[in-house]
């Protein structure tokens, strides 16, 4: 099976129904994408597929042939880089387990909406953080959005 | 620097609390907490000056972190303590997980089991605390929990930094041929101001390590601290934004086998639990991709495969049937009935009395009915639901056992792994990667015992056992279900004259011993069951607090803030009932009963002021307050709530805390937010229910928690203090449920006495 992950063509051997999450983690060694629930309820496994956030625990890798997958390990584009920098400025992560998924969910939001309001963030970022870092996540998304808009202006 | 190295100024010997009683107690000996450099495993030219700090040839300072990093920022906090005394630059400091060794024992952990009142500083109390510290050291408890890490490290880590600094200075003085008193350390360099000469740590370390540790060194006065008290950036953050952080579940090894597990759904433990009925093992082993199928103690099935997905699919496909044992009928109603019966059948005088003053019985018996209140409160079992599911990797090869596990208790993990593998503990190595949340679940070692048991049967191949979320929620060691019955009598001014509180709940101590050492498990008084109830800080002349321990088949364990998590809800809501009965403002009423508690008063006032207590709110909103001391810190919270679509909506929480000296204010702010969200998730939606002997909740869709859209604005206030640090990870959790419940009462007049909070009334229209 072939898949484009973080701008590299990869090849692996896996059952056709194996979700992308497990291909990334167990076959490709990309453990930044996390297992949290297996039923697309928590978002720890969020990756971007062609720039759109997707919960990789319920998507068979075989369904993604020809599409481009970004994981948190991927070389950051300007949006992801701005989010990562904002995440550090706000000292957002606690345990950190959900944060890769959070950042990629936020990246997908900023691609579609460069200046999201609180309600947009509420609606788009439905990932679970058991450490309760939400207030800093919200602040970091606003901060990254401002940085990106400033850079564009 | 205004620190003097002359003996006259700021000089003290660095002895733990126990040593104040004579200096002879075990942990009072500072040398034992300093340890030997060799313990910290110096490699690649590193030089260890003691067990806590290594210096590299290029001047990096590496601090030993024997506590598990689960997001609470402990690695950073420990490093701040040491680096501040060493006068290192923060950007030259890094942190490395420490190996298992007695020098790293947590001597503050067991303070949490002492049934002393927090402000008791008498001789007996001090002796008790010193003894508990000594026991922690003797047992080499390398455990992260009980909000104890910084409390334990406060003296030894600063001492380790100051001692290392002194050794570097002695060498520098000899090299530069100047008096030591003319030297300072600034920004990670030893400086001789008069000549402008400097020396680097890296060029002094080797000779410094050859010196004996100086027998007395000076610690800085608070005014000279440069890192303690500063919001320095956490050392673990950069890897947590780019996917490089390694959690236990991310362990990868050559030849790794991936394991999935299904455990007997009915509780009862090894003796009274259910049993797996025989099934076709040969057919199971023939499932696609399956490498082996193993049965553990007739109570669990493990499937091994080449990846996690295949193992999970196979274990789901197995036609498993269970003889469910004697507890197959257990349900939540039965547990409630058991708790209620304990409170009723035992009468007023059963159980264990944890607090007694005056004569509550007589006063309650004589009080007129219109000035007597009674109420029953209840909370359910709760799961921890850390986002990283329970997992452990183990390898047994050549008589050596290696464990990779994000555990809060590596010393227990080592001991249990050795017991399962039937080897000595020194043949077991435990690696502790980052923890994807702990909250008390990772104090348990069940996953370690399972992984080692499997690894014993794989001919040396390493095994990573990953639980599904369903297993994680259905086989937790739960926060106990609990119930309280209160009676109180007020005087004519509305002040409490008598207060009687009886709390029924399982004992975590007993449940833990049944898991670890069943032959020694005894039903005995358990401070953790009643903590937060018996320490009542309010002035009540006649006071009685009793514990009723109710064993159930459900395993129970420590859940962020442990007994405080429910006793604060019970106590602070009932106190609110008293304030209402007295016709008084809840903040003013509390303050009137806290004349002897200046710390509590200050914290409560700070929270009320920041929250704008007493100032008008938009229509449909109300505030509630709660105040609670736990883990050496006092925290007050004001919640601002509304009812939206029949559900409670929390718009804002203000939290004020006195946690002693603040080591990192940004971390304290983060931990308060975290503790509040954790407690709020439980208060609004957390409930583990039982039916047919098993947990009904399966995954996040039916055991959910606060998400971004439900997140209240949280404001934190850190009170200044010169006392030693208190705990930080847990004290923010207990007050939030009562603050929200009290706000709900203020809003609708409905007094909710059960968690999770499910209002049935609408907003008061008057």
Q: What is the pLDDT of residues B657-671, one digit of tens each?
A: 999 999 999 999 999
Q: Is residue B757 part of a domain?
A: no
Residue owning tokens 């072939």: A2
Q: Which residues of A touch B711 (CB under 8 A)?
A: 132, 134-135, 138
- The alpha-carbon gap from B230 to the nearest alpha carbon of chain A, in Å, equals 14
CB-closest option in A29, A39, A91 to B234 = A91
CB contact under 8 A, B707 and A18: no
Question: What's the mean pLDDT when you consider all of chain A?
Answer: 96
Q: Give the contacts of B227 (CB within 8 A, at least 6 positions apart).
A: B80, B83, B84, B90
- Least CB-CB distance to B309: which of A22, A130, A136? A22
Which residues on chain A are in Cβ contact (under 8 Å) with B465? none
User: Which backbone phi and psi does B430 adopt, to 5 degrees?
Assistant: -115, 120
Pick from B435, B466, B497: which residue ends a domain?
B466
**Chain B (64-123) residues lying within 8 Å, Cβ to Cβ, of chain A:** 70-73
Q: Which helix (H) or strand (E) holds B186?
A: strand B183-186
pLDDT at B394: 98
- Percent of residues, chain B, with pLDDT higher than 70: 95
- Residue B455 and residue B499 share a domain: no
Contact B309 A18 (CB under 8 A): yes
pLDDT at A90 over 60: yes
Res. B21: pLDDT tops 50? no
Q: Percent of chain B scored above 90 by pLDDT?
A: 90
CA distance A105 to A48: 8
From CA B179, how far away is CA B688, in angstroms rounded? 67
B300 part of a folded domain: yes
Q: What angle do CA B375, B378, B383 make, to 5 degrees?
A: 165
For residue B634, what is the domain's CATH number?
3.30.365.10
Q: Are residues B493 and B450 in the same domain?
A: no
- B311 and B364 fall within a common domain: no
Give the distance from CA B190 to its chain's centroid.
39
Q: Are B568 and B433 part of one and the same domain? A: no
Residues B606 and B523 in one domain: yes
Q: How confident is the prediction for chain B on average, in pLDDT?
A: 94
Helices (H) then strands (E): counts for chain A: 5, 5
* Last residue in a domain, options B439, B466, B493: B466
Tokens of A9: 């063509």
Q: How many CA atoms are closer than 13 Å to the CA of B708, on its beta-carbon side? A: 25
* Interface A:B, Cβ pairs < 8 A: 184
Is any Cβ of chain A less than 8 angstroms from the Cβ of B247? yes
**B241 contacts on A by Cβ (under 8 Å):** 72, 84, 87-88, 92-93, 99-100, 103
Does residue B312 lie in a domain region? yes
Q: Judge whether B71 and B674 are in contact, CB under 8 Å.
A: yes
Comma-separated ranges of CATH 1.10.150.120 domains in chain A: 78-152
* Chain B residues within an 8 Å CB radius of A88: 233, 237-238, 241
Which chain A positions have a beta carbon within 8 Å of B305's beta carbon? none
ipTM above threshold 0.90 = yes
> According to the model, what pLDDT value does residue B247 have?
98
Residues in chain A closer than 8 A to B71 (CB atoms): 93-96, 131
The C-alpha of A4 sits at a distance from chain B's nearest C-alpha, in angstroms, of 18
Rounded CA-CA distance B452/B468 in Å is 18
* Secondary structure (3-state) at B724: coil
CA B174 to CA B715: how far, in whole Å?
A: 52
Cβ <8 Å between A100 and B249: no
Residue of B80, B241, B408 for testing the chain A interface, max A β-carbons within 10 Å = B241
What does the pLDDT read at residue B119? 87
Domain boundary pick from B240, B259, B288: B240
State which residue of chain A sits closest to B673, comparing Cα positions: A132
Res. B765 pLDDT band, cuts 50 70 90: low
Using CA of residue A48, residue A49, residue A50, residue A52, what is the dihedral sign?
negative
**B722–chain A Cβ distance below 8 A for any pair:** no
Domain of B80, in residue numbers: 11-240
**How many residues are recorded in chain A?**
153
Statement to judge: residues B203 and B342 lie in one domain: no
Are the C-beta atoms of residues B366 and A15 closer than 8 Å to each other?
Answer: no
B520 φ/ψ angles, rounded to the nearest 5 degrees = -105, 0
| Total number of domains constituting chain B | 3
Does residue B617 fall inside a structural domain? yes
Alpha-helical runs (H) found in B278-351? 281-285, 308-317, 332-345
Residue B6 counted as domain residue: no
Which residues of chain A neighbour B243 with C-beta distances below 8 Å? 30-33, 71-73, 100
- What is the H or E stretch that residue B518 is in? none
pLDDT of residue B5: 37
- Are B393 and B413 in contact by the 8 Å Cβ rule? The answer is no
Nearest CB among B237, B308, B674 relative to A131 is that of B674
| Per-residue pLDDT reduced to its tens digit, B259-306 | 999 999 999 877 777 899 999 999 999 999 999 999 999 999 999 999
For A151, the token pair is 């850079």
Residues of B in contact with A104 (CB under 8 A): none
Subunit contact B709:A99, Cβ cutoff 8 A:
no
Q: Are residues B490 and B580 in the same domain?
A: yes
Kindly state the average pLDDT of the residues B728-739.
98
Flag whether B764 is in a domain.
no
Say if strands B372-379 and B482-490 run parallel, antiparallel, or are unpaired: antiparallel
Q: Does B463 touch chain A (CB under 8 A)?
A: no
**3-class secondary structure per residue, A60-74:** EHHHHCCCEEECCCC
Give yes or no: residues B411 and B502 share one domain. no
User: Considering the domain boundaries, does residue B756 fall inside one?
Assistant: no
Regarding whether B151 and B99 lie in a shared domain, the answer is yes
Q: What is the pLDDT of residue B32?
A: 79
Contact yes or no for A97 and B309 at CB 8 A: no
pLDDT on residue B339: 97
Interface test with A, best of B69, B71, B258, B311 (most A CBs within 10 A): B71
- State the DSSP string of B629-651: EETTEEEEEEEEEEEETTEEEEE
Is the CB of B221 inside 8 Å of chain A's CB atoms? Answer: no
Q: In the prediction, which pLDDT does B24 show?
A: 33
**B186 & B315 share domain:** no
Average pLDDT of B633-656? Answer: 97
Query: What percent of chain A is predicted at pLDDT more than 90?
Result: 92
- Residue B254 and residue B234 share a domain: no
Of the residues A20, A24, A25, A26, the best mutation for testing chain B's interface (the one with the most B CB atoms within 10 Å of its CB) is A26
pLDDT of residue B23: 33
| Together in a domain, B175 and B295 | no
**What is the Cα–Cα distance from B124 to B129, expressed in whole angstroms?**
9
Q: With beta carbons under 8 A apart, name residues in chain B contacting A71.
A: 243
Most confident of B16-25, B216-225, B678-687: B678-687
- Chain A closest-CA separation from residue B241 CA (Å): 6
Contact indicator for B666, B231 with CB cutoff of 8 Å: yes
Q: Indicate if the pLDDT at residue B14 is higher than 60.
A: no
pLDDT per residue as tens digits for the range B741-750:
999 999 999 9
Helices (H) then strands (E): counts for chain B: 20, 27
Of A37, A122, A138, Cβ closest to residue B699? A37
Identify the residue among A29, A89, A95, A103 best suited for mutation to test binding to B, counting B beta carbons within 10 A and taking the highest.
A95
CA distance B435 to chain A (A): 6
CATH class of this structure's domain A2-70? alpha beta
- CATH number of the domain located at residue range(s) A78-152 in this protein: 1.10.150.120
């Amino acid at each position: 099976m072939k898949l484009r992950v973080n701008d590299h063509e990869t090849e692996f051997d896996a059952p056709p129904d194996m979700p992308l999450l497990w291909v990334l983690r167990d076959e490709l060694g990309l453990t930044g994408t996390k297992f949290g629930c297996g039923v697309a309820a928590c978002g720890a496994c969020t990756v971007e597929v062609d720039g759109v956030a997707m919960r990789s625990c319920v998507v068979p890798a075989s369904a993604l042939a020809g599409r481009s997958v970004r994981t948190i390990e991927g070389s950051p584009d300007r949006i992801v880089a701005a989010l990562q920098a904002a995440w550090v400025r706000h000292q957002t992560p606690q345990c950190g387990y959900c944060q890769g998924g959070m950042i990629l969910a936020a990246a997908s939001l900023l691609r579609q909406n460069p200046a999201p309001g609180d309600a947009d963030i509420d609606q788009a970022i439905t990932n679970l953080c058991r450490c309760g870092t939400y207030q800093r996540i919200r602040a970091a998304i606003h901060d990254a959005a401002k940085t990106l808009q400033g850079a564009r202006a | 620097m205004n620190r003097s190295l002359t003996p006259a100024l700021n000089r003290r010997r660095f002895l733990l609390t126990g040593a104040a009683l004579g200096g002879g107690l075990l942990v009072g000996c500072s040398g034992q907490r300093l340890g030997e450099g060799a313990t910290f495993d110096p490699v690649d030219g590193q030089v260890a000056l003691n067990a806590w700090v290594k210096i590299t040839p290029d001047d990096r300072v590496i601090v030993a972190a024997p506590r598990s990093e689960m997001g609470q920022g402990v690695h950073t906090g420990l490093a701040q303590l040491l680096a501040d005394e060493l006068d290192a630059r923060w950007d030259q400091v890094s942190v490395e997980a420490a190996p298992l060794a007695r020098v790293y024992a947590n001597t503050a952990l067991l303070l949490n089991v002492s049934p002393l009142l927090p402000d008791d500083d008498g001789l007996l109390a001090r002796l008790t605390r010193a003894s508990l510290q000594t026991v922690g050291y003797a047992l080499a408890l390398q455990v992260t929990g009980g909000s104890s890490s910084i409390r334990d490290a406060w003296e030894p880590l600063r001492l380790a930094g100051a001692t290392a600094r002194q050794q570097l200075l002695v060498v520098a003085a000899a090299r530069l041929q100047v008096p030591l008193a003319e030297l300072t350390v600034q920004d990670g360099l030893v400086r001789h101001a008069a000549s402008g000469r400097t020396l680097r740590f890296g060029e002094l370390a080797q000779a410094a390590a050859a010196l004996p540790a100086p027998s007395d060194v000076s610690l800085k006065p608070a005014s000279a601290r440069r890192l303690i008290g500063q919001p320095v950036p956490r050392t673990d953050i950069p890897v947590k934004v780019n996917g490089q952080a390694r959690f236990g579940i991310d362990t990868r090894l050559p030849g790794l086998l991936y394991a999935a597990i299904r455990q007997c759904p009915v509780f009862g433990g090894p003796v009274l639990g259910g049993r797996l009925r025989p099934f076709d093992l040969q057919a199971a082993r023939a499932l696609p991709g399956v490498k082996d199928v193993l049965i553990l103690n007739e109570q669990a099935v493990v499937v091994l495969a080449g990846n996690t997905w295949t193992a999970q699919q196979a274990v789901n496909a197995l036609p498993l049937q269970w003889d469910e044992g004697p507890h197959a009928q257990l349900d939540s109603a039965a547990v409630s009935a058991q708790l209620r019966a304990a409170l009723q059948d035992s009468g007023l005088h059963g159980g264990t009395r944890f607090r007694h003053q005056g004569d509550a019985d007589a006063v309650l018996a004589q009080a007129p009915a219109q000035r007597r209140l009674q109420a029953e409160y209840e909370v359910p079992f709760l799961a921890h639901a850390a986002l990283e599911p329970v997992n452990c990797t183990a390898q047994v090869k050549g008589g050596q056992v290696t464990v990779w596990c994000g555990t809060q208790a590596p010393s227990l993990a080592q001991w249990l792994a050795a017991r399962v593998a039937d080897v000595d503990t020194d043949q077991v190595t435990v690696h502790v990667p980052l923890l994807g949340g702990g909250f008390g679940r990772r104090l348990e070692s069940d996953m370690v015992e399972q992984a080692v048991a499997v690894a014993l049967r794989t001919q040396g191949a390493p095994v990573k056992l990953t639980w599904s979320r369903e297993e994680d929620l259905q086989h937790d060691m739960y926060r106990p279900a609990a119930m309280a019955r209160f009676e109180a009598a007020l005087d004519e001014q509305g002040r409490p004259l008598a207060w009687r509180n009886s709390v029924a709940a399982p004992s975590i101590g007993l449940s833990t011993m049944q898991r670890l050492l069943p032959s020694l498990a005894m039903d005995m008084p358990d401070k953790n069951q009643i903590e937060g109830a018996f320490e009542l800080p309010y002035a009540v002349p006649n006071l009685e607090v009793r514990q009723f321990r109710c064993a159930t088949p459900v395993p129970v364990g420590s859940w962020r803030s442990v007994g405080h998590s429910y006793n604060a809800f019970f106590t602070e809501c009932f106190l609110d009932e008293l304030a209402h009965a007295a016709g008084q403002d809840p903040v003013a009423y509390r303050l009137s009963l806290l004349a002897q508690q200046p710390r509590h008063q200050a914290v409560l006032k700070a929270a009320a002021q920041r929250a704008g207590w007493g100032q008008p709110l938009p229509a449909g909103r109300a505030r509630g307050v709660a105040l609670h001391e736990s883990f050496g810190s006092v925290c007050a919270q004001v919640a601002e709530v509304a009812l939206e679509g029949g559900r409670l909506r929390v718009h804002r929480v203000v939290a004020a805390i006195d946690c002693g000296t603040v080591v990192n204010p940004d971390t304290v702010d983060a931990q308060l937010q975290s503790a509040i969200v954790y407690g709020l998730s439980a208060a609004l939606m957390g409930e583990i229910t039982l039916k047919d002997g098993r947990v009904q909740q399966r995954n996040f869709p039916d055991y959910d928690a606060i998400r971004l859209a439900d997140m209240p604005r949280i404001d934190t206030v850190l009170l200044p203090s010169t006392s030693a640090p208190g705990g930080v990870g847990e004290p923010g959790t207990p007050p939030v449920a009562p603050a929200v419940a009290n706000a709900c009462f203020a809003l609708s007049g409905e007094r909710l006495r059960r968690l999770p909070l499910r209002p049935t009334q609408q907003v008061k229209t008057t």
